[in-house]
């Protein structure tokens, strides 16, 4: 067997006085495919940075075979030193690497290579960074959440691309199907210690449960021994003092061992505040259509969503999934057709941008709306710290500003706030972003047990298979078709997965053999006006501000006693909310129209 290319031994690292990693081991052999799993905040990304040589541990050794090359994909890459995405990707190529591979990878990831790095969104920067680490031929690839900001076609393309590579691979991802399809070994980072299983992620959960069950049995044995020793200390014979002192020391050692023996990390306890039952019909859409800039987003769609249905909406980025949700829930009107909402609907929405969180508010203020220190779940009052613990927040985080939370913590906070509101219709736009696997399990169970109706958008194939009863798929040109079952059932019926949009490919200049006629080339090319450019640049910030204002008004309306206490304030808040939602819908429509126009003109 070939010696490992990379080895970490007895690695330890402490942040702010708290041990993050205590005894970590990692060994990567040539061509090996391993996944690194663990809770959010367990130190997975830090361990990967240590493996990449970017972070120095407090203790332990790192060894890399001489001449071995390592490429690392960070969650937040820095492209500021390069003018364009192509320049950034080409900078990662070695002397013997194929220069055309840079353009190929950028195209596959939905980029042209001409984008200015200063203007990139977070998702575009991540895709460019992914192209840079894939372009050369390293010996080891270390990938931290490579599927973030990728749609389903791009995720499936990335899978096939990674399978074709000969290099060793270490993956961190919350996408179960992605890990199952690529991993051959599993490294579990739990409470600062790594455990290794020489099997893929598909076997991880059974293995993990077995390890935790064995730990629980050992704790139970230790507890019984402690009780027996303590009983002897209280009632035992006082003669033979030396022997008694030794036994007392043994008891103290047992207590210290029990104190240091860490219990398994707590689990998320999701309790959903359900409202009164809705009518049988939740949403009925009849021949609805919506277009932006001449491009159809939805065309001639008719669908009925009944109480208890779980509808998954899938499609490539830019297909209009969020627009479709807004049409079905009455946030924006269709250009044609009509949408009818059922009776007694109480809707709770989780948006993918998490923009409705106030970064200056504390965790406790976000959950209570700034009123007192309790939250009401399903008619029962609970202290905010106890509710925080249900979502894996420590009591000392009650006064932590939202702005300093990690992506996973912000997502859990959004879930905690959304689930505290009574509802019979849940609308979840990319709810799995930044969630660890255990939290995903609990979210899946909650959706399964929820008696209301669920509409969700997700790129997570396994999550769709476990939660939805039907899938609405974009077929292109505004056409949407519903398939019974989950994502795998849809693929079996359709014969293929979700197809990528081809806007960028169609927009590329044609070859000389397909050169346009002189008459066509002489036509003047329209450009965005100054006002259009200004709107395109400023609307995203405007939408974030509107979403933040909407969230604050919704927090006011979440007070169940507001109407009885102050009807005038309640009505004013309702009017303000309606106006803000209308402004947001108009801003989103305008931005999407300009974005589609920009894509056309840049083509």
> Which residues make up each annotated binding site?
38-45, 315-322
Question: Which of 133-148 are b and which e, b meaning 16 or more Cβ less than 10 Å from the residue's Cβ?
Answer: bbbbbbbbbbbbbbbb
Segment holding 498, helix H or strand E: none
Q: How far apart are CA 31 and CA 52, in angstroms?
A: 17
H runs (alpha helix) in 183-271: 204-235, 241-260
- The helix/strand/coil state of 1 is coil
Query: What phi and psi, each to the nearest 5 degrees, are found at residue 147?
Result: -90, -5
Annotated binding site for ATP: 38-45, 315-322
Asked whether 461 and 498 are in contact (CB, 8 A), the reply is: no
Taken in order 246, 247, 250, 252, is the CA torsion positive or negative? Answer: negative
Query: What phi and psi, each to the nearest 5 degrees, are found at residue 285?
Result: -110, 130
Helical packing angle, 100-108 and 152-164, nearest 10°: 140
Asked whether 83 and 117 are in contact (CB, 8 A), the reply is: yes
Residue whose C-alpha is closest to residue 375's, from 364, 389, 391: 364
Segment holding 162, helix H or strand E: helix 152-164
Asked whether 131 and 89 are in contact (CB, 8 A), the reply is: yes
List, in sequence order, every beta strand (DSSP E) within 65-175: 70-73, 140-144, 168-172
Rg (alpha carbons) of the chain, rounded to whole number: 27
Residues 6+ apart with CB under 8 A from 493: 483, 484, 485
Residues 6+ apart with CB under 8 A from 187: 26, 34, 35, 36, 37, 170, 194, 195, 196
Q: How far apart are CA 394 and CA 403, in angstroms?
A: 16
Q: How far apart are CA 406 and CA 388, in angstroms?
A: 15
Taken in order 390, 391, 393, 397, is the CA torsion positive or negative? Answer: negative
- The helix/strand/coil state of 420 is coil
- For 367, the token pair is 């959950």
Instruction: Let me know how long the chain is.
Output: 603
Q: How far apart are CA 431 and CA 270, in angstroms?
A: 14
Asked whether 306 and 465 are in contact (CB, 8 A), the reply is: no
Q: How far apart are CA 80 and CA 87, in angstroms?
A: 11
């Amino acid at each position: 067997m070939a010696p490992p290319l990379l080895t970490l031994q007895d690695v330890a690292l402490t942040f702010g006085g708290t041990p993050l990693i205590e005894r970590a081991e990692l060994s990567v052999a040539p061509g090996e495919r391993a996944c690194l799993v663990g809770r959010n905040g367990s130190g997975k990304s830090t361990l990967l940075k240590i493996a990449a040589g970017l972070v120095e541990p407090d203790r332990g050794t790192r060894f890399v075979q001489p001449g071995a090359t390592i490429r690392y994909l960070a969650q937040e890459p820095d492209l500021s030193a390069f003018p364009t995405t192509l320049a950034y990707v080409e900078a990662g190529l070695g002397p013997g690497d194929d220069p055309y591979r840079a353009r190929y990878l950028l195209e596959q990831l939905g980029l042209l290579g001409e984008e200015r790095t200063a203007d990139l969104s977070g998702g575009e920067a991540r895709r460019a960074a992914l192209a840079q680490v894939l372009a050369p031929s390293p010996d080891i690839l270390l990938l931290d959440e490579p599927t973030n900001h990728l749609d389903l076609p791009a995720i499936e393309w990335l899978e096939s691309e990674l399978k074709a590579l000969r290099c060793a691979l270490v993956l961190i991802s919350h996408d179960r199907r992605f890990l199952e399809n690529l991993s051959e070994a599993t490294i579990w980072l739990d409470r600062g210690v790594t455990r290794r299983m020489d099997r893929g992620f598909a076997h991880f959960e059974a293995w993990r449960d077995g390890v935790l069950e064995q730990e629980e049995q050992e704790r139970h044995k230790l507890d019984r021994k402690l009780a027996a020793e303590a009983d002897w200390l209280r009632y035992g014979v006082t003669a033979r003092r030396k022997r008694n002192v030794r036994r007392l020391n043994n008891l103290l050692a047992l207590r210290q061992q029990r104190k240091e023996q860490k219990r398994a990390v707590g689990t998320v306890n999701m309790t959903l505040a359900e409202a009164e039952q809705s009518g049988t019909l939740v949403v009925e859409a009849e021949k609805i259509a919506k277009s932006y800039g001449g491009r159809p987003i939805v065309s001639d769609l008719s669908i009925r969503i009944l109480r208890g249905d779980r509808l998954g909406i899938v499609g490539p980025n830019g297909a209009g999934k969020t627009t479709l949700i807004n049409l079905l829930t009455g946030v924006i009107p269709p250009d044609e057709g009509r949408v009818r909402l059922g009776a007694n609907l109480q809707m709770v929405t989780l948006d993918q941008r998490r923009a409705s969180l106030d970064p200056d508010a504390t965790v406790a203020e976000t959950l209570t709306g700034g009123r007192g220190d309790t939250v009401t779940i399903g008619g029962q009052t609970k202290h905010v710290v106890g509710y925080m613990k249900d979502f894996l927040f420590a009591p000392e985080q009650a006064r932590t500003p939202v702005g300093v939370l990690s992506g996973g913590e912000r997502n859990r906070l959004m879930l905690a706030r959304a689930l505290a509101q009574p509802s019979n219709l849940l609308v979840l736009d990319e709810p799995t972003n930044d969630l660890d696997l255990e939290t995903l399990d609990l979210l899946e169970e909650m959706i399964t047990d929820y008696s209301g109706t669920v509409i969700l958008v997700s790129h997570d194939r396994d999550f769709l298979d476990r939660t939805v009863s039907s899938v609405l798929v974009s077929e292109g040109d505004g056409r949407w078709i519903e398939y019974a079952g989950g994502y795998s059932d849809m693929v079996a019926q359709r014969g293929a997965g979700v197809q990528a949009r081809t806007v960028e490919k169609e927009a590329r200049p044609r070859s000389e053999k397909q050169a346009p006629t002189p008459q066509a080339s002489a036509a003047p090319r329209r450009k965005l006006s100054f006002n259009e450019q200004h709107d395109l640049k400023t609307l995203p910030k405007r939408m974030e501000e509107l979403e933040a204002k909407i969230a604050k008004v919704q927090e006011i309306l979440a007070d169940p006693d507001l109407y009885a206490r102050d009807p005038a304030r309640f009505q004013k808040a309702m009017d303000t909310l309606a106006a803000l939602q209308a402004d947001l819908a108009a801003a989103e429509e305008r931005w999407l129209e300009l974005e589609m126009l920009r894509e056309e003109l840049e083509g």
